[in-house]
Chain A
Amino acid sequence: MAECHPVGFQWVMEAKARGAKVIHIDPRFTRTSALADTYVPIRSGSDIVLLGAVINRVLSQGREFAEYVRAYTNASWIVSEDYADTEDLDGLFSGFDSETRTYDTTSWQYEGHEGGGDEEEETDRTRESEEGQQLGSAGAALEHHEVRRDETLEHPRCVWQILKRHFARYTPEMVQEMCGIPRDLFEEVAEAWISNSGRERTTALVYSVGWTQRGTGVQYIRTGAILQLLLGNMGRPGGGIMALRGHASIQGSTDIPTLYNLLPGYLPMPHAHKHPDLATYIDTIKGEGQKGFWGNADAYAVSLLKAYYGDAATAENDYCFDHLPRIDGDHGTYAQVMDMIEGGKIFGYFLLGQNPAVGSANGRAQRIGLANLDWLVVRDLMMIESATFWKDAPEVETGEIVPEECRTEVFFLPAASHTEKEGTFTQTQRLLQWREKAVDPRDDCRSELWFFYHLGRRMRERLAGSDDPRDRALLDLTWDYPVHGPTQEPDAETVLKEINGYDLTSGELLPGFTGMRADGTTSGGCWIYAGVFADGVNQAARRKPGREQGLHAPEWGWAWPMNRRILYNRASADPEGKPWSERKALVWWDEEQGRWVGDDVPDFQVTKPPSYRPEPGSSGADALAGDDPFIMQADGKAWLFAPKGVLDGPLPAHYEPGESPFRNSLYGQQQNPARQMYTHHLNEMHPSPPEPGSEVFPYVWTTSRLTEHHTAGAMSRYLPYLAELQPALFMEVSPELAAERGLRHMEWAHVITARAVVEARVMVTDRLAPLRIQDRVVHQIWLPFHWGPGGLTSGDVVNDLPHLTLDPNVHIQEFKAGTCDLRPGRRPRGRDMLALVDEYRRKGHVSMATGTVAVTDEYLHPAGKDREEQAQGGRTGIGTGAAPEDVDEFTSVEHHWERGTAQDQKTPVGGDEGER
């Protein structure tokens, strides 16, 4: 946190000065570790073992915050008798199909609700269109009605007992064996966490992409959530789980998503198979008899359609629901890249302040994809590598991209900076802050608001009068934004007002999302942002100095929803509405006033008393009882066990990363069986035990940021003041590894994977230490990933090293752990580099099937299926419709140019359909 969010870290330092104990867990000793009270080294990719062992300690020693757990979680709910745990199936949950590599979640449901699960085929689709991420935090549909409970928590199939059994094997010994964390250190962490939680005290958990950029990333966070719930740390001051996000408005770009599977406010993008009409669409969100505020999904969806299509959206035409395109699979950024490589599907690409040639996983695949487009529009502050790949990509050196033969037409359009436009960013705590414009942009620099408004305007002018039905949505679009100034800049506040929404009968801005209606009388572009313009005031522009306000500074900016600063803060009071302790009071029920009061805006219906019990048969917000604090959840409770919404298990289980030097000690199952992979010769994976050959890639590599640089480097490598602070790519190794591999401080070394070779200067440092895992010593190598060919300081692209293995829930890549070899000296150049990669692939017997096995037991006991056949079953990449050569190449270890094709091809990479 000191490394990547230094200014946020001031609050950690302040807490520390007031006596808080700060524990930092990281594969390498960082600037955060230097200031922490305790530093815990860990093998990258083993966090669930550590967290699971703390959970086990809580459960086995009865250290949970019992009243909280009983009242606010689903601990007492009874799960279907069809459910089988990883304990029963050696690392798999019930319902796994190794052909489709997906779970049928029927057996994970509560008893009597098995019908609510997803059939296997449906889950496959769910994964591809990523519904696990939709509906906000976890509000997947669930009919709550009357779930059977056992308040004594003794029923063998109640969540509590399942949890105890599930985590029993997560022991301190296992932590030592898999994480490399010594017993004493584990004891210290576990005791500190547990003893600092409960009625009087709370513990905060902070994570970042070290957890999300994993093939099992969602389950890492689930493990943290389970622990924080058991200890009563959610919805309470000083508690919680803080996701530190890495970009100025990455939270905003998820809320108002530029994501394929979402519409604003976490409404799902309509699915071709599931949402034939608006009524069905809304029903699948609301669920039948489901509790909570998704019950008003109809109002949110209709208001959005009214904001999009204005008067054209009427009750008769389903409010233009059919103007919305349908998704039917994985259309994520990595799927797009594989399509670009394959060719013939994606013709044009926009890059908006994003530099995938450096910043996305498997950089070679990224750049070769770019080289295979018809046209590319890059909008950025700097001339980034994703715009110049046709002349300076590493593939130019290898001959895989030949400028004279690369057909991609590139438009580089300079962007306006944050000082040259006005608008809101949403920061990591959901707080919207309005920026004032300081100066006009220079020359051709323009905002995205300008670009997309005028792009749309010109397209609409071009299509005016068209009677082609496919143009209807564009022509019906409300797109008449006022413009001002010499550049005709659209008015950002008008857009923010549209996002906030209007009462269309009066023309007034909506005060909040509860004002939205499903009858077409309200509009609103993002329901969770409704209220940002309450009372006609730009609430995000409020700047009452923090020192003149209380702890939560409610008059600085505006947090969604409804300016609530701590989510689910109803849980800061006990079921009767009294604070759990005076020390940790936040909101409470005031009997005299008949409302919830406190230091924060209550995240609850403000006049609903704690004693309220819903009428039988009610649904939505009305069905929430007075002691149901988790108001977006389908049952008002926090889920220790997740019957829905997570696709790779209702509970987290430790699996080894897609590439690991070690066998999983916890289960026979080696890797997350439901992980998503792209099978392609550019994306081959290393063997992991029990597959042979893992010793060829004996080391673990991991990456992260440096304080002095920003992501793919466009905003730092091009700035002298930042470039000089970290002037070159380097890798950190322990003195022991340096000795083992003959590396010298500040000289060169190169890291080799089956995808790429990356060279960097060597930083030998005591801040990295070897770990003992399963009685073997393992070395970890750390690299920052900010470098590329451009900028004032250039270097190899570290993101060329990883493979594309994705978390099945959110399609985020496994960036943070992989295996490699490490050698002294500079890397070979050009084709010699590819030859080195091929040599390693040969030695490790790497093929496109390597590392793709879904069920380890089937690999060990093949029953007639060889590794290739098993791998075929799980191919989720470009398997369908791929050229015949692709199949031939399935076991090939050669780069395709070695077969003499590159020289002969007009377009060495990609080319026309079917040709690669």
Chain B
Amino acid sequence: MGVRTWIEGWPVYRQLTGSDPLGRGAAAQSGRSKALDARTVTADRVARSVCPYCAVGCGQRVFVKDERIVQIEGDPDSPISRGRLCPKGSASKQLVTGDERATKVRYRRPYATEWEDLDLDTAMDMIVDRVLDARRRGWEEKDSEGRFLRRTRGVASLGGATLDNEENYLIKKLFTAMGAIQVENQARI
């Protein structure tokens, strides 16, 4: 930075030489203010998404910078929402990036009073063991009159209204194939 530039950057110099003698506008603008840019502009990419709260289905734009979500706001292209969001939709970034978000598997042993850590792969294996075992223990081949049931009531599930169609499809498909009928979601509630 040359001396001249340095002097010209000095607010008092700008105030005395420019058109803002009271130093309330252009002359007072800081370097940060001058360089300020919207995160929506500097983002690396934008994902077109849909709000995860109620069923109105408002369009969202998810702005990503350095593989982190830096902003979520309404998608003005959406004929449903026209770019608008309610307080919950507006809080979507905090929902997905907030401190309260759980990101680690936790395990509570029977009769334990505290959580333990558990790695995901082990957890998956343990769950497979338990599902197969519960399926076997709850198996009902026929009813009392000999009618074919071929099902298990040892396993039940609740949830789906906040999930994707593709996910619900796999859940129902897998549970049905393992004979588990007790699959339910918020639509019943």
Contact = CB atoms under 8 A, between A and B. Distances in A.
Indicate yes or no for A touching B, C-beta below 8 A. yes
A903 B102 CA distance: 35
Nearest to B58: A7
Interface string A530-547: 000000000000011111
Given A348-B131, A455-B131, A427 B178 contact: no
B186 interface: yes
Contacts of A718: 98, 100-101
Interface size class of A (residues with CB under 8 A): 35 or more
B101 A447 contact: no
Nearest to B120: A444
Interface stretch (B3-11, B14-22, B29-37, B167-175): B167-175
Interface in B19-54: 47-54
A811 B188 contact: yes
Contacts of A408: 108, 110
B166 A423 contact: yes
A326 B80 CA distance: 40
A722 interface: yes
Given A248-B51, A327-B181, A448-B164, A419 B187 contact: no
B136 to A, nearest CB: 9
A482 to B, nearest CB: 13
Given A7-B86, A250-B187, A435 B94 contact: no
A382 B90 CA distance: 18
Interface in A551-579: 553, 556
A439 B65 CA distance: 10
A425 B79 CA distance: 16
A107 interface: no
Nearest to B169: A256
Interface size class of B (residues with CB under 8 A): 35 or more
Interface string B62-86: 1010011100100111111110111
B157 A352 contact: yes
Given A414-B102, A474-B177, A248 B137 contact: no
A404 B148 contact: no
B56 interface: yes
A593 to B, nearest CB: 27
A453 interface: yes
B176 A722 contact: no
B162 A473 contact: no
Contact of B164 (A249, A260, A383): A249
B1 interface: no
Contacts of A715: 52-53, 88, 95
B134 A477 contact: no
A411 B123 contact: yes
Interface stretch (A331-339, A836-844, A861-869): A331-339
A721 B94 contact: yes
B181 A260 contact: yes
Given A354-B185, A456-B174, A383 B179 contact: no
B119 to A, nearest CB: 8
B159 A353 contact: yes
B56 A7 contact: yes
Given A248-B50, A345-B138, A452-B171, A546 B78 contact: yes
A381 B189 contact: no
Given A325-B176, A444-B120, A352 B163 contact: yes
A438 B116 CA distance: 31
A440 B69 CA distance: 10
A492 interface: yes
Nearest to A708: B87
A707 interface: yes
Given A250-B185, A448-B164, A716-B88, A348 B130 contact: yes
A606 interface: no
Contacts of B143: 272, 328
A432 interface: yes
B50 A247 contact: no
A248 B100 contact: no
Given A10-B84, A327-B181, A253 B189 contact: no
Contact of A356 (B150, B158, B182): B158
A244 B53 CA distance: 13
A710 interface: yes
Given A256-B172, A347-B137, A459 B178 contact: yes
Q: Give the most central of A260, A442, A525: most B CB within 10 Å.
A: A260
B165 A352 contact: no
Nearest to A811: B188
Given A324-B176, A325-B180, A348-B154, A244 B77 contact: no
Contacts of A334: 188
Nearest to B49: A435
A324 B175 CA distance: 10
B87 A722 contact: yes
A359 interface: yes
Given A322-B148, A448-B170, A477-B177, A258 B183 contact: yes
A51 B105 CA distance: 51
A328 B149 contact: yes
Contacts of A498: 169
Contacts of A707: 86-88
Given A248-B51, A380-B102, A253 B160 contact: yes
A155 interface: no
B158 A352 contact: yes
B187 to A, nearest CB: 5
Contacts of A452: 167, 170-171, 174
Contacts of B104: 414, 443-444
Interface in A783-839: 791-792, 810-813
Q: Give the most central of A259, A334, A429: most B CB within 10 Å.
A: A259
Nearest to B147: A272
A346 B155 contact: yes
A8 interface: yes
A428 interface: yes
Nearest to A549: B79
Given A248-B55, A349-B158, A356-B158, A253 B134 contact: no
B94 to A, nearest CB: 5
A411 B49 CA distance: 30
A190 interface: no
A445 B104 CA distance: 7
Nearest to B72: A419
A452 B54 CA distance: 24
A914 interface: no
A728 B58 CA distance: 28
A263 to B, nearest CB: 8
A905 to B, nearest CB: 14
Nearest to A474: B177
A23 B106 CA distance: 49
Nearest to B119: A444
Contacts of B49: 418-419, 435-436, 438
Contacts of A496: 165-166
A249 B51 CA distance: 10
A350 B56 contact: no
Nearest to B103: A443
A383 B182 contact: no
A429 B118 CA distance: 41
A258 B80 CA distance: 26
Interface string A226-259: 0000000000000000001111111111111111
Q: Across chains A and B, which 7 residue pairs bring their CB atoms closest together, nearest first?
A: A546-B79, A352-B159, A427-B57, A423-B164, A325-B151, A258-B160, A553-B79
Given A10-B84, A340-B156, A437-B47, 20 more contacts: A246-B54, A248-B52, A249-B161, A249-B162, A255-B165, A264-B169, A322-B150, A348-B131, A348-B154, A351-B159, A377-B127, A405-B111, A414-B104, A419-B69, A439-B67, A455-B174, A492-B166, A556-B79, A715-B88, A722-B94
24 contacts: A247-B55, A263-B176, A308-B176, A322-B150, A325-B150, A325-B180, A331-B182, A333-B189, A353-B162, A356-B158, A381-B102, A383-B100, A411-B118, A423-B167, A428-B54, A455-B128, A458-B125, A496-B165, A543-B78, A545-B77, A547-B79, A720-B98, A721-B94, A722-B91
